[in-house]
Structure 1
């Protein structure tokens, strides 16, 4: 194993809003990366009863959903329906239809997909921006 094998696929993006969880999803998402994502979301919920989410897909190469504990998936879905207001997805693939299907019990989450070249519109829709050290990405 080389050092690149240990780089997490889920990477937090610092933003101008405390109640916005922004992440890069880079390459293939392992079960451990998925568990990490749910942990990041739980931490955000602990600080803010309602949050918005921005997901920027970078060279996305799938998710090991089958290897994430079913209880984690159920709990993660239930908590997202309770706490997430808006979710912006940037890049491909466009997974908004799948998310709406999975979270069909929740009409309170507003999803929008943005093409990579339209990333600025996603940030504007959420009323935020990446902080200075992150701005070189997008």
Structure 2
């Protein structure tokens, strides 16, 4: 189970579905640790699905997205993530997810906080 101060994994009913709560301002260390964790999961599974739930999101620490593990996981995700869902978050984040779903080989959707159950159903999993 992945637990950091600003990113916490939520248990799921499916071994290839990974769900995370995002809380506050995501630090560079937490983002790098999550990227390392997901790179390990990419090694273990042919494909995965991911759910990010923005509980209280205050953005990311400056430069958090540019560490090597984070960049590597983003590139690897293109071939490893089959479904990607985001619950809550800013309008800009929702638009980015929707755009990604149209431009990249991943089925990506965003959901309002009130529709978290629909996001779980989209991934074919439930909270364990």
Please classify the TM superposition score into its range, dividing by the shorter chain length.
0.7 to 0.9
Query: Corresponding residue for 2:29?
Result: 32
Give, in whole Å, the separation in 1 of the partners of 2:70 and 2:46. 20
Alpha-carbon distance between aligned partners in 2 of 1:89 and 1:25, rounded to the nearest angstrom: 10
Unaligned runs of 5+ in 2: none
Which among 46, 49, 54 is matched to residue 51 of structure 2? Answer: 54
Map 1:108-119 to 2 at 5 A. Answer: 108-119=105-116
Normalising by structure 1, we get a TM-score of 0.79
Q: Distance in 1 between matches of 2:65 and 2:111?
A: 27
Report the Cα offset of residue 114 of structure 1. Answer: 0.5
Residues 17-28 of structure 1: matches in 2 within 5 Å? 17-28=14-25
Residue pair 1:96, 1:111 contacting (<8 A) in 2 also: no
Partner-residue secondary structure (3-state), 2:15: coil
| Greater C-alpha radius of gyration | 1
Gaps of 5+ in 1: 1-6, 132-138
Higher strand share: 2
Question: How many pairs are equivalent?
Answer: 124
- Superposition RMSD on alpha carbons, in Å? 2.2
Give the deviation of 1:89 after TM superposition.
0.2
Match of 2:74 in 1: 77
Residues 1:68 and 1:87: Cα distance change in structure 2 (over 3 Å): closer
Task: Using the TM superposition, give the Cα deviation of residue 99 of structure 1 relative to its aligned residue in structure 2, in angstroms.
Answer: 4.8
